[in-house]
Amino acid sequence: MSEPSEPESDRVPAWLHDGQSAIRHDLFVALSGDRLLIDGFDPVPLDALRRIDGRGLQFGRGDMSGWRLGFDAAPPEALLRRLPAAARYGGPIDRIGLWGAAAIALCLSVLVILGTIQGLDLLARMIPYRWEQRLGDAISGDFGARACRTPPGQAALDELARRLSSADRPVRVGVVDIPIVNAVALPGGRILIFRGLIDTARSPDEVAGVLAHEIGHVEHRHVLVALLRRFGIGLLVGSGGTAADYGQALLESRYSRAAESEADASSIEHLVRAGISPTPTARLFDRLGRDEAAMPKLFVYMASHPPSAERRARFDAAAKRVPHPRPSLDPARWAAVRAMCGKTKAKDQFELRF
């Protein structure tokens, strides 16, 4: 029941449903500090009230279902200013303000995006490698009509792949008759080298550097992350697309700058461990950089790969770690690789893809 208290404002006529019965109580209310005095009932803290209409004539309590306080006529301004204001956007937004809520929403969106990216990376690492290998086999089968294979050339590439890859996760490398200076990593450790790269390379060590770079993508699961980002969970349940769709997506994919730098770091480590000089790879980037020189600088730095000048410097600096380099392939094996797709075709155009 009510407790004695001195009101700070005039008593104003109101009505009350106490939530315990259907009876309407006609009574008077008045302000006293941070409470609303209600004749015949306990005072109510002002912060327990919430407006339930737009005119400010009815109020409820969040802690008491069915409790309603109303005014048949608009209460005086002095009282109305102390009562809760009407909600404009919803409780939380009204409490912190529209701009504050917008700032929080923006931060949450950024966190969700970053969490999604990191989540894809974690998801890729959880997928069994055998499943990934089956997916890679299906995608590589779509290139079957363009596959180049001779026993001597394939044996030479297999030997090079063994030198560059780790024993716990070997890669399988092949050549396809596509006249683009590029190579692509597929899921499950499959790597395809396009004949355009072999035709353009001035030494097998240049091909070795690119192969080691693609091995880096394989080891860091960048390939699977790229497919998950493109096809989502449908990739895992078989509803995201066909093997041809996945292959096309990988040909068109652009890894993040961080992923490309990570693959370059792996490439250097593999070359150093195999005793192959990184210098020829640096020279390859030097030739690519000449093509970049004709491009506006902005586009060079916005490309997915680090600028060729930066990559060249990175590989050049690593060359001192291999004081006595050994060639990646001897002349006979290199000739066998170059003959895998038939007569070598000269090509001067570069594709900045690997």
- In residues, how long is the chain? 354
Q: Residue 297: its pLDDT value, please?
A: 43
Per the DSSP assignment, residues forming a β-bridge with 176 are: 147, 194
Instruction: Summarize pLDDT for 119-140 with one digit per residue, the tens.
Output: 556 666 667 777 788 888 888 8
**Is the pLDDT assigned to residue 89 strictly greater than 70?**
no
Q: Tell me the average pLDDT of the chain.
A: 79
3-state secondary structure the chain: CCCCCCCCCCCEEEEEEECCCCCCEEEEEEEECCEEEECCEEEEEHHHEEECCCCCCEEEECCEEEEEEECCCCCCHHHHHHCCCCCCCCHHHHHHCHHHHHHHHHHHHHHHHHHHHHHHHHHHHHCCHHHHHHHHHHHHHCCHHHEECCHHHHHHHHHHHHHHCCCCCCCEEEEECCCCCCEEEEHHHEEEEEHHHHHHCCCHHHHHHHHHHHHHHHHCCHHHHHHHHHHCCHHHHCCCCCHHHHHHHHHHCCCCHHHHHHHHHHHHHHHHHHCCCCHHHHHHHHHHHHHHCCCCHHHHHHCCCCCHHHHHHHHHHHHHHCCCCCCCCCHHHHHHHHCCCCCCCCCCCCCCCC
Q: Residue 119: its pLDDT value, please?
A: 59
Instruction: Summarize pLDDT for 228-281 with one digit per residue, the tens.
Output: 777 665 565 555 666 667 666 676 667 777 888 899 999 999 999 999 999 999
The share of the chain scoring above pLDDT 70, in percent, equals 70
**Is the pLDDT assigned to residue 287 strictly greater than 60?**
yes
As a whole number, mean pLDDT of residues 200-205 equals 94
**Is the pLDDT assigned to residue 300 strictly greater than 70?**
no
33 vs 1 pLDDT, higher one: 33
As a whole number, mean pLDDT of residues 90-106 equals 55
Instruction: Summarize pLDDT for 326-342 with one digit per residue, the tens.
Output: 999 999 999 999 999 98
